Amino acid sequence: MKDYIRSRVLETADYILSAEATVRDAARRFSVSKSTVHKDVTERLQEVNPSLAQRVALVLGKNKAERHIRGGQATRQKYRAPGA
């Protein structure tokens, strides 16, 4: 694995853990695609640091379990009457 990829993987993992960030948040922060972030933290991180990969997987699992709630809130805001 190239050094710049290894560095990006570790930085992304640290960001996700410290901010309990979603894949989308991390992608925006590091200016890469969601697919890249997902591959970095699920496949490449396992190769670089397995214990860190397990901790990141817990945060991603929590975010995945909560995403239906965030989606419902976004829809509610979208259709909320102006001035209400």
Are 34 and 23 within 8 A, CB to CB? yes
pLDDT in tens, 1-23: 899 999 999 999 999 999 999 99
**Cβ of 41: how many Cβ atoms within 10 Å?**
24
pLDDT mean over 66-74: 86
pLDDT at 46 over 70: yes
DSSP at 81: P
Structural domain spans, the chain: 3-79
More confident: 69 or 61: 61
pLDDT at 41 over 80: yes
pLDDT of the residue at 38:
97
pLDDT of the residue at 70:
83
Q: Which residue has the tokens 């909320």?
A: 80
